């Protein structure tokens, strides 16, 4: 059984989404995780994930290992105690710890490939709920936006704990993703924001409210076919993320470089501190903005068309 899952970017609202404000995220299908599960003549469940240099039998891994925890959770879900002999191959083109949702994508693809092999296929809703449980094990207090956008493989307007809303794009638009190459753990930036929020709740609540407004206006602009309005909203959202201390010199450098190269707006995307930034560009300028980002230190870029 084979399954795959895309990467994702957050267009607006990261961090504020953890505090129940709306955020917008879209799948990035240029990068993906692919999983294949086959019966094996060898005893045990052998996992091969060359990108993270993992070649191991399930029982030799700690139960909180990102891959092992998915398998164990799924067996628990199906009440399977007698585990089958399997070979699981995981390959991925999603950079790790870069804000593109690689962890959630591994979990989604693994659940989708393994469930029908050991029992029966799960619905999107079941996959999403299961992967959210896994995300909570590894990310502390995740909003659930990553697993949702990756499971449904559709643009989402996400509010924690509320039914999933997708949105349509009135007119397609182009985004360049620039990766700082600096690995950053979302759990850390989310934890730092929580400490600052506890210390200065009013100030942070005001920032989150401003971001909520940005997400709302952004959704309307996208739906009404005016994506060019997103540029200014991205700049504003980035300034608020800087105020929340989750940007970094590398991210700010790429944001400035993109703007200087003619991007309509730019911001960090995801947990911050490292990982990715995104820039809204006219399609004809996408290649030149991408090459300016590389000159400014980006380790890789992805040009993605939304809508």
Residues labelled catalytic: 146
Q: Does position 190 bind ligand MEV by CB under 6 A?
A: yes
State in angstroms the smallest separation of the CB of 215 from ligand MEV: 12
Give the max Cα distance, the chain.
60
Cβ–Cβ under 8 Å, residues 39 and 155: no
Shorter beta-carbon distance to ligand MEV: residue 61 or 179: 179
Nearer to ligand MEV, 227 or 275 (CB): 275
Long-range contacts of 254-261 (CB under 8 A, 24+ apart): 254/178, 254/180, 254/293, 254/296, 254/297, 254/298, 255/279, 257/292, 257/293, 257/295, 257/296, 258/176, 258/178, 258/289, 258/292, 258/293, 259/235, 260/292, 261/285, 261/288, 261/289, 261/292, 261/293
271 binds ligand MEV (CB under 6 A): yes
Give dist(CA 85, CA 53) in Å, integer: 21
- Which residue stretch of 32-40, 125-133, 137-145, 251-259 sits at the interface with ligand MEV (rule: CB under 6 A)? 137-145
**6 lines the binding site for ligand MEV (CB under 6 A):** no
State which of residues 28, 68, 106, 145 lies at the interface with ligand MEV (CB under 6 A): 145
Residue 285 lies near ligand MEV (rule: CB under 6 A)? no
The stretch among 15-23, 84-92, 225-233, 254-262 that binds ligand MEV (CB under 6 A) is 15-23
Size of the site for ligand MEV (CB under 6 A): 14
Helix, strand or coil for residue 137?
helix
- Placement of tokens 């703007």 in the chain: 259
Q: Are 37 and 86 in contact (CB under 8 A)?
A: yes
Which residue spans within 135-258 are E strands per DSSP? 156-158, 165-166, 173-179
Query: Would you say 58 or 241 has its CB closer to ligand MEV?
Result: 241
Contact pattern for ligand MEV over residues 111 through 130, marking x by CB under 6 A = --------------------
9 is a site residue for ligand MEV (CB under 6 A): no
Angle between the N-to-C axes of helices 124-139 and 145-152, in degrees from 0 to 180, rounded to the nearest 10: 150
Counting Cα atoms < 13 Å in the Cβ hemisphere of 30 gives 13
Helix (H) or strand (E) holding 197: helix 186-199
Site membership for ligand MEV, residue 156 (CB under 6 A): no
Q: Which stretch binds ligand MEV (CB under 6 A): 139-147, 199-207, 210-218, 286-294?
A: 139-147
Applying CB under 6 A, which part among 11-19, 42-50, 175-183, 215-223 lies near ligand MEV?
A: 11-19
Least distance (Å) between residue 143 CB and ligand MEV: 3
Residue 186 binds ligand MEV (CB under 6 A): yes
Which is nearer to ligand MEV, 37 or 279 (by Cβ)?
279
Determine the 3-state secondary structure of 277 from DSSP: strand
**In this chain, which of 263, 270, 278, 290 binds ligand MEV, going by CB under 6 A?**
270
Q: Which stretches of the chain bind ligand MEV, using CB under 6 A?
A: 10, 14-15, 17-18, 99, 142-143, 145-146, 186, 190, 270-271
């Amino acid at each position: 059984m084979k399954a795959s899952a895309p990467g994702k970017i957050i267009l607006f609202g990261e961090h504020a989404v953890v505090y129940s404000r709306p955020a917008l995220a879209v799948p990035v299908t240029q990068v993906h995780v692919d999983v294949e599960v086959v019966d094996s003549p060898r005893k045990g469940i052998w996992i091969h994930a060359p990108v993270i240099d993992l070649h191991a039998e399930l029982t030799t891994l700690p139960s909180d290992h990102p891959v092992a925890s998915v398998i164990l959770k799924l067996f628990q879900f199906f009440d399977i105690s007698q585990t089958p002999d399997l070979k699981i191959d995981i390959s991925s083109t999603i950079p790790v710890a870069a804000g593109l949702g690689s962890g959630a994508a591994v979990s989604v693809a693994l659940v989708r490939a393994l469930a029908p092999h050991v029992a029966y296929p799960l619905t999107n809703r079941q996959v999403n709920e299961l992967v959210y449980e896994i995300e909570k094990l590894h990310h502390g207090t995740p909003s659930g936006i990553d697993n949702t956008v990756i499971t449904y493989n559709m643009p989402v307007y996400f509010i924690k704990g509320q039914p999933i809303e997708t949105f349509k794009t009135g007119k397609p638009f182009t985004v360049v993703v620039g990766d700082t190459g600096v690995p950053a753990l979302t759990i850390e930036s989310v934890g730092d924001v929580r400490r600052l929020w506890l210390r200065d709740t009013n100030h942070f609540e005001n920032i989150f409210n401003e971001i909520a407004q940005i997400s709302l206006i952004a959704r309307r602009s996208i739906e009404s076919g005016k994506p060019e309005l997103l540029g200014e909203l991205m700049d504003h959202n980035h300034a608020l993320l800087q105020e929340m201390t989750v940007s970094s010199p590398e991210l700010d450098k790429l944001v400035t470089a993109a703007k200087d190269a003619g991007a309509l707006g730019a911001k960090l995307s995801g947990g911050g501190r490292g990982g990715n930034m995104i820039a809204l560009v006219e399609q004809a300028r996408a290649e030149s903005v991408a090459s300016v980002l590389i000159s400014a230190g980006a380790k890789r870029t992805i040009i993605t068309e939304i809508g």
